[in-house]
Amino acid sequence: MSLISETDRKKLNRRKRKAVIFSRFCAAVTWSSVLLLAVLLYQVAADGIAWLDWQFLSSFPSRFPERAGIKSAVVGTLWLISLVALISIPIGVSSALYLEEFAKPGKLNKFIEVNISNLAGVPSIVYGILGLAFFVRFFALERSLLSGALTMSLLILPVIIIASREAIRTVPMSIRYAAFSLGATRWQTTWAHVLPASFPGIMTGVILALSRAIGETAPLIMIGALTFVAFFRLVQWILLLLYPFRFITGFPGPRRNFMSWLRPGYLYF
Amino acid sequence: MPKKASSTISKSGRLFGESCIVLWLGACAAISLLTTAAIIGLLLKESFTFFENVSPLEFFFGTSWVPILQPSSYGVLPLLWGTLQVTIGAAIIAIPLGLACAIYLSEYASPRMRSYVKPILELLAGIPTVVYGYFALTFVTPLLRLFFPQVQVFNALSAAIVVGIMILPMIATLSDNALRAVPDSLRQGAYALGATSFEVTTKVVVPAGLSGVMASFLLAISRAIGETMAVTIAAGQTPNLTLSMFESIQTMTAYIVQVSLGDTPTGGIAYQTLFAVGALLFAITLIINIFSQWILGRYREVYD
């Protein structure tokens, strides 16, 4: 009575089975990726949490595991990140404003655009080489916090610019027209209307970029943040003792995990 | 009427201030150009000095990399091969799995599910790479050793696995975006012809979003090539031209880290190798990035 023959029905069943298997496979893959994340976080946290106490946070690195701490690393990271934010946010947002609001569309603008997206794809270690040759050697800033911060700023600049441009682009033209029609200049329009309207989007991009800077290790090693400082002075030339360096120097055991575990928390924020 | 007065006075002041501001903004935008120029100029200049001392023939075709000890030799092939081993391994892991994740997210998952899973995957992408290196050393390698006892502590395989895990979310989220940009009418058309969900996905949706999917693969691969800390930690520091994935190798990025860890004097050959290897790395990733942009631009299907 059926409308289709037995062989066709078999074929149809096979196709349907295939579809079901495929969808289950995709789901399984996705969930195992999520599971993997859980394993990774657990792995890092389980090792690290035992070391997490106030003493660990407030001591300097030491050769003795019981007395070792990450104070200089935490302080170094905070210093670095504040400097990077101070340098890269104004420059990045200004570039984005220029490209979106002021630049005349043309070959040069297009070229800058392509250039920025290519810069975003340059491996971070290449920025490290750049920092080593220019900031450390050429500008003679030595292996300092400042060279580290400048290098890191260059590294995250493209990310900030791209994110800010996206945010600025979402501001509707009508807002600009309204401001112009009231006699505002282009900059007044930008400052008083476009920037505030795109502010949340820009901040999202900035936070993402900064969190990348926090976790970035390679360029800093290039800059030579390895200098082992057992005490810290709040001068420029010191304490680029970011936690990851310890790892490379074979700093004893599990405390690095704690920091690395802190980091994803940061990112999540 | 002070208000009126100030507005007439400020008119020219306003315009002057305005052009100053525009100048400043333009200067900021120029910084990105300067950065590129600095990178390219620096790498070219130092590589030229390097090639004055070492013949390009030896650099590109030599099979032994002993830059610091005597007798030295500067064949970059072992480093290049190390990078390739890790990258290919990572791609083999991440491309099928990442694409499957993307298909699940865009075709099968409910919007609610998607809103949970996608941020988690993005979190996976945001973990600092040092943590991945650590994960490789303390988790992946011991696990591998259960199955293959001959695996060395530092080995290419665990590096490839963690780099694969690292680029998977990138492929998944970017491809998901590409697949979701495919209009529903195409799917509905295929379903109306009696296609199963498998057929709709593989024969309609993925081909339609292929340019975005390919671009995500390429971006992920270029990221894997440039990845530094995870492979430095997991794969070791032994320039080694070997087919085995179980042995310690050294990638280009790991070499750069190794050299800069020592206090390399400026001007020595060891210092110049840094730039030669860096230039090669930069060239490879740049070509891949440009290629992926070209694919995106050239083959993008525009749907209204």
Across the interface, whether the CB atoms of B36 and A37 are under 8 A apart is answered no
Structural domain contains residue A247: no
**B91 pLDDT above the threshold of 90:** yes
Whether B48 is in a domain gets the answer: yes
Instruction: Tell me how many degrees the CA angle A165-A167-A168 measures, rounded to the nearest 5.
Output: 65
Q: Please tell me the distance from the alpha carbon of residue B209 to that of residue B109, in angstroms, as a whole number.
A: 18
Q: How many CB atoms lie within 10 A of CB B81?
A: 20
The one-character DSSP state at A51 is: T
Q: Which helix (H) or strand (E) holds A210?
A: helix A195-215
Higher-confidence residue: A241 or B135? B135
CA–CA min distance A170, chain B (Å): 18
For residue B64, pLDDT beyond 60:
yes
Q: Which residue has the higher pLDDT, A231 or B155?
A: B155
Give the pLDDT band (50/70/90) at residue A250. very low
* Domain of residue A222, CATH code: 1.10.3720.10
B31 CB-near residues (< 8 Å, 6+ apart): A91, A95, A157
Bigger pLDDT: B214 vs A104: B214
The answer as to whether B210 is a domain residue is: yes
Same domain, A26 and A93: no
In a domain, A256, yes or no: no
Which pLDDT belongs to residue B188?
Answer: 93
Mutation to test the B interface, candidates A22, A161, A211, most B Cβ within 10 Å: A22
pLDDT over threshold 80, residue B56? no
Residue A194 has pLDDT above 80, yes or no: yes
Q: Which of B283, B269, B290, B295 is nearest to B83 (CA)?
A: B283
Answer whether B285 sits within 8 Å of A121, measured CB to CB. yes
- In this prediction, residues B210-226 reach a mean pLDDT of 88
* Residue of A156, A195, A204, A217 to mutate when probing chain B, most B C-beta within 10 A: A217
Q: Do A202 and A230 fall into the same domain?
A: yes
Residue B101 pLDDT: 92
For residue B224, give Cα distances in angstroms to A105, A120, A143, B17, B220.
34, 14, 28, 46, 6
Assess if residue B107 is contained within a domain.
Answer: yes
Q: Are residues A42 and A155 in the same domain?
A: no
Does B155 lie in the same domain as B272?
yes
Same domain, B149 and B240: yes
Q: Are residues A107 and A156 in the same domain?
A: yes
| A112 Cβ under 8 Å from any chain B Cβ | yes
Please tell me if residue B283 touches chain A, with a CB cutoff of 8 Å.
no
**CATH number of the domain encompassing residue B143:** 1.10.3720.10
* Rounded (10°) angle between helices B2-53 and A124-131: 90
In a domain, A255, yes or no: no
- CB-based burial, B34-49: b 16+ in 10 Å, e otherwise: ebbebbeebbeebbee
Q: Which domain holds residue B114?
A: 73-299
Q: State yes or no: pLDDT of B185 exceeds 70.
A: yes
Residue A252 resides in a domain: no
Q: Once rounded to an integer, what is the mean pLDDT over residues B215-224?
A: 89
Predicted pLDDT at B152: 74
How close A37 gets to chain B, by Cα (Å)?
A: 6
pLDDT at A101 over 80: yes
Task: Tell me what pLDDT residue B193 has.
Answer: 92
Structurally, how many domains does chain A consist of? 2
Q: For residue A13, is it within any domain?
A: yes
On whether both B195 and B254 belong to a single domain, the answer is yes
What is the CA B281 to chain-centroid distance, rounded? 11
Asked whether residue B131 falls in the same domain as residue B6, the answer is: no
Are residues B38 and A134, on separate chains, in Cβ contact within 8 Å? yes
Q: What's the whole-model pTM score?
A: 0.78
Q: Supply the pLDDT for residue A47.
A: 62
Q: Check A122 against B165: CB less than 8 A apart.
A: no
pLDDT of residue B118: 83
Pairwise pLDDT comparison (B78 vs B101), residue with the higher score: B101
Show the domain range for A29.
6-52
**A124 and A153 fall within a common domain:** yes
Q: Which residues of B touch A187 (CB under 8 A)?
A: 17-18, 21-22
CB distance from B285 to chain A under 8 Å?
yes
Nearest Cβ partner for A34 among B32, B120, B285: B120
How many Å lie between the alpha carbon of A140 and the closest alpha carbon of chain B?
13
Distance CA B162, CA B159 (A): 5
Do A43 and A156 belong to one domain?
no
Q: What is the mean pLDDT of residues B3-25?
A: 70
Q: Looking at the 3D structure of chain B, how many domains does it have?
A: 2
